Amino acid sequence: MVVKVIKFNIVFLSIFICNIQSLSQGFKAGLNVGFVASQVDGDRLDGYNKPAITAGIFSKYLISNKNSFYIAINYIQKGSRKLANPEIPDDRYYILRLNYIEIPIMAIIKIPLESKIKLPYFESGIVFGYLFKAREDVDGTGFIEPIPPFKKYDIPFRIGLNYIVNNHFELKAHYSYSLIPIRPHPGNKTWYFDRGQYNNYLIFSVFYTF
């Protein structure tokens, strides 16, 4: 049921964002592209070692010159990466690729500080993600279907900073973390608040407003 709802929202928001400027003067639309550095907490690997990209479309509504919010539809790849060191016997090799469609809903608030220089804005919000493809390579012999499988949905929270360059370009830096596990531990083992594996990732992106 959750997957069907997410699919419906993706289609609906795609149509909505592509036509939003004709609906209201307060809305503006644009494109975004960025770099992703990710890891998966719970896979016994450390570090944001999985590089990837994200890209999509967005629509933002200007509440005032200090506050606004936006909704986007993005393709994004997350995952985990560990290349074996040939000098270490039996060193672990692992690559995980998780391909998502994400719908972030973000509020933008101007930091209330007086300054002679332009300061970034603060952003915070929630993200709804749908996993449409997952592959992992556990030993360097090729990609296979993950076992156990990953959940088809991901709900991270997101915080970040937004620097407005001019009327068209904005630079954003975000941190995101899954609120619910994306996959259980082997045997469904849990430890207190550790209920499984979680996406943990950074995004550095450029937004262009038409």
**Residues above pLDDT 90, as percent of the chain:** 66
* DSSP character at residue 197: B
pLDDT of residue 5: 47
Distance CA 144, CA 17 (A): 35
pLDDT of residue 62: 85
pLDDT in tens, 111-164: 776 777 888 999 999 999 999 999 999 998 999 999 889 999 999 999 999 999
pLDDT of residue 16: 52
CB within 8 Å of 208: residues ≥ 6 apart: 30, 31, 32, 168, 169
* DSSP character at residue 165: -
The pLDDT of residue 190 is above 70: no
pLDDT in tens, 70-112: 999 999 999 999 999 888 888 999 999 999 999 999 999 987 7
Give the residue, 132 or 64, on which the prediction is more confident: 132
Tell me what the pLDDT averaged over the chain comes to: 87
Please tell us whether the domain made up of 2-209 is placed in CATH 2.40.160.20.
Answer: yes
Q: Count how many residues are written for the chain.
A: 210
Q: What is the pTM of this model?
A: 0.85
| Residue 107 contacts residue 126 (beta carbons within 8 Å) | no
